[in-house]
Amino acid sequence: MESSLPQILIETTDSKNNVLVFFKLRPDVITEDNLHSNILVSSMLDSPINSLYQAVRQVFAPVLLKDEKWSKTLDPKLQKLLSELEAGLSTVLRRSDPNCIGTEFTENDVQAILTPTDEFQFWKECAQHGNKLRGKERASHFKDLFEDLAKHYYNLDSFSLLEVVDLVETTKDTVDNVWRQTEHDPYPQPRMYNLLDVIGSCLGRFVQRKLTTLNLWEDAFHIVKENIKAGILICEQWVSACEYLTGQLWQRYTLHQWKNEKYIPESLTELCKRLDEVLTVRTLHEKLTYFLPSGEQNDLHLAQVFEPFAGLNPVHCNPYTEPLWKAAVSQFERIIAPAEQKMAIKLKKFISEIQDSPQQLIQTFQKYKELIKHPNTSKELLFERETLLARLQDYVKDYQTDFETRCHGAPGDVSGPLSGKNLSEVVNNIVWVRHLEMKVDDAIKLAEALLSDLSGFQTFHRSAGSFLEQLKVYEQEQFDDWSRNIQSEVSNPKSGLCIQANSPVMELDHVFGTLNILYSDRLVTLLREVRQLSALGFVIPAKIQHVANTAQKFSKQAVILKQVAHFYNSIDQQMIESQKPMMLQSALAFEQIIKHSKSGPGGNAQITWDNPRELEAYIQKLQAAAERLSTENRKLRKWHTNFIEKVISLMNIDLLRQQQRWRDGLQELRTGFASLESQAGDYLAFF
């Protein structure tokens, strides 16, 4: 077959059969010699749109845009066009391909959502092209909630590993806000399940790409350690976030409850395990080279210990590479066995010198945990590990005694929890017990890593675990007691927590003449408690959250009004008694604004929190009047001080020798009085 151009003829039918396509690269006659160089083979599954999209997304875009060899040869305009093609095909696939979204679209169809960016783009498209106004508004709401996150994930490769650690926390907060939003119909659970999954996959691929840029066996240990730990932290944080959200928080959220089992991103769990193994291998080598002199290192061939890993990419973990990885680790352990034995002898001697210091002993085992948990070293240090177990038992028992002594007292008391700064009692107690939980949990983890084969381990593990559970119960009881008390106060109109949007902003006490802002200090404390408890991971009851949201809405205005009220209630003490008549007009004007805090056409209705425009205008009016009175008072006090100084100066003048100086001083005094009199009228009572 000869022609000027290669041709591909594919019949368009309604058949859903998969298609295998053979086509020529050049218009040459096919022979045995050019068969393999001139014919390409491709497949077309389901639909041409889906096949093209998958080929661009998974083959050509990564190679041409991310591979250094090819990306630098491709014009930036072409790179942009390729990205736009991928995005455009994704859009068409979601909007029109019946094989991917179904002829009757439902939100549970997530076949085309392969990355977080796909999901964000999905809601953007629904907001623009939805069929119903209500659906478009809902999609727009989700789009807005995802907006900041979408920018981060679109530019994910520009982030460092440590920056993505922070991004994981932001991602957790965002998906939580999306799940618990109440403005529109809930976010579908299958769609959220898929989103959590694709976010995990995206984060895993990011960690792999970043770590692949390093030589994990030859680069400096501190660099490798820092990057692997950041990668592990990313994986652990997202696994923990998914477990917490789907296993606890959302299962207790009655307005939109998570059904079925909690979701755990298995791929990230496996990647985290692999990274931990890589770090253990590097740490073992580092500890051995640190303890052993260079001569012994050469004798034990420590320079060749990483040879078993040659040809393996350590961060690519899947069922196919796992046997190869395990074989390489096993060979590595055989190579370092002689070095381990020498190291164990040195470590044994070092531990014998510090075993009477429990804290130092625990720190040493923690520092060399990766080395000590290896079977050869672990066997050699049997006596030392038994000593550590005894110390950990005493360590946890001391914490338990301290807890039982302090748990019933008030913060700061001898028999109460240690107190922190700017913390209410409930937050202080929870922070205190969290610190104890962390200490006990660290002891349990250290024992699990190094002491699980000892006869006394199970007894210690049960007692420490029981104490840890006791701490968690105390923590939950603190929060539950606080929740009950606050909800009870919210129901009590006199508690100071019953702020209503349509309630007056202030009242004037006609008995004592004081101005009171109807926004109690208890509300300020509640806002701080809600913010801190939320940061600690507690789910605030809806009733309390509603009060906090209402209080937060008016907190800025309340702060300003409290400042004005303090000025009004204390200005009398700031004035000099003899000058009060001189400020009578300004004081009366200020008081009139206070007494006539009305709104509406006839000025009959009180100004309330839910009328922000009138409230803002009234606050500005109050501030202006207060500023005038304050400025006038400062000026008069300054005049008063100047007059006192001039009188004292005149008293020190010798009238016989310095008559002219006396006259000059007296004239200055009279000029000052005249100037003040012209400003203040006839209220110079002190003259």
Minimum mean pLDDT range among 368-377, 399-408, 575-584: 575-584
Spatial distance between the Cα atoms of 459 and 504, rounded to a whole number of angstroms = 62
Name, in order, each residue with C-beta under 8 angstroms of 524's C-beta and a sequence gap of 6 or more: 555
Alpha-carbon distance 645 to 674, whole Å? 17
Residue 393 has which token pair?
A: 């038992």
> Other CB atoms closer than 10 Å to residue 386's CB: what's the count?
15
Question: Is the predicted pLDDT of residue 101 greater than 90, yes or no?
Answer: no
DSSP conformational letter for 496: S
Total Cβ atoms within 10 A of residue 365:
25
More confident residue, 607 or 21: 21
Give pLDDT, residue 476. Answer: 92
Listing DSSP states for 287-330 in one string gives HHHHHS-HHHHHHTTGGGTTGGGTT--TT--STTTHHHHHHHHH
* 61-75: burial string, b at 16+ Cβ within 10 Å, e else: beebbeeeeeeeeee
Window from 209-223, 411-425, 605-619 with minimum mean pLDDT: 605-619
Among 136, 241, 134, which residue's Cα sits nearest to residue 179?
241
Nearest one of 279, 277, 274, 276 to 317, comparing CA atoms: 274
Mean pLDDT of 53-74: 72
Distance CA 126, CA 521 (A): 45
Residue 272 near residue 243 (C-beta atoms within 8 A): no
pLDDT tens-digit profile of 378-393?
888 889 899 999 999 9
Which H or E run includes 407?
A: none
Residue 104 has pLDDT above 50, yes or no: no
Q: Residue 141 and residue 153: Cα distance in Å, rounded?
A: 19
Which region holds residue 113: left if phi is over 0, alpha if psi is between -120 and 50, else beta? beta
256-277 pLDDT, tens digit per residue, is 899 988 999 998 999 999 999 9
pLDDT, the chain, mean: 80
Residue 3: predicted pLDDT: 42
Which tokens hold the place of 77? Answer: 């305009």
pLDDT average, residue stretch 531-536: 88
**Contact between residue 337 and residue 302 where contact means Cβ atoms under 8 Å apart:** no
Q: How many C-beta atoms surround the C-beta of residue 686 within 10 A?
A: 13
In DSSP terms, 605 is beta-bridged to 599
Question: Is the pLDDT assigned to residue 78 strictly greater than 70?
Answer: yes
Strands (E), 455-597: 506-509, 514-517
**CA atoms of 134 and 130, how far apart (whole Å):** 9
Which of 359-363, 391-395, 547-551 is least confident? Answer: 547-551
pLDDT tens-digit series, residues 290-344: 777 666 656 555 667 888 888 888 988 877 788 899 999 999 888 888 888 888 8
Separation CA 504–CA 517 (nearest Å) = 9
Separation in Å, CA 89 to CA 94, 95, 125, 416, 537: 9, 10, 13, 64, 41
DSSP string, 654-673: -TTT-HHHHHHHHHHHHHHH
Q: With pLDDT > 70 as the criterion, what percentage of the chain qualifies?
A: 78
* Sign of the CA dihedral with 677 first, then 679, 685, and 687 last: negative
pLDDT at 550: 78
Q: What is the 8-class DSSP label of residue 608?
A: B
pLDDT digits 0-9 by tens, 427-444: 999 999 999 999 999 999
Quote the distance between the C-alpha of residue 119 and its chain's center.
21
Given a contact cutoff of 8 angstroms between Cβ atoms, the answer to whether 159 and 152 are in contact is yes
> Distance between CA 29 and CA 38 in Å, rounded?
9
CA distance 568 to 553: 24
Residue pointed to by tokens 């702020």: 499
Q: What is the structure's pLDDT at 582?
A: 67
* Burial of residue 234 (number of CB atoms within 10 Å: 0-12, 13-18, 19+): buried
Burial of 211 per CB tally in 10 Å (0-12, 13-18, 19+): buried
DSSP 266-285: HHHHHHHHHHHHHHHHHHHH
Q: Give the span between the Cα atoms of 616 and 122, in whole angstroms.
A: 41
**Quick check: helix, strand or coil at residue 525?**
helix
DSSP 441: H
Q: Render pLDDT for 153-162 as a digit per residue (tens, 0 to 9).
A: 988 989 999 9
Looking at residue 59, the DSSP 8-state letter turns out to be: I
List the one residue out of 216, 318, 217 whose CA is nearest residue 271. Answer: 318
pLDDT, tens only, 280-296: 899 888 887 777 766 66
Phi, psi for residue 80 in degrees, rounded to 5: -65, -45
Q: Phi and psi dihedrals of 570, rounded to 5?
A: -120, -5
* pTM, entire model: 0.62
pLDDT in tens, 469-486: 999 999 999 999 999 998
At 105, the pLDDT band (50, 70, 90 cuts) reads: very low
185 contacts 136 by C-beta, under 8 angstroms: no
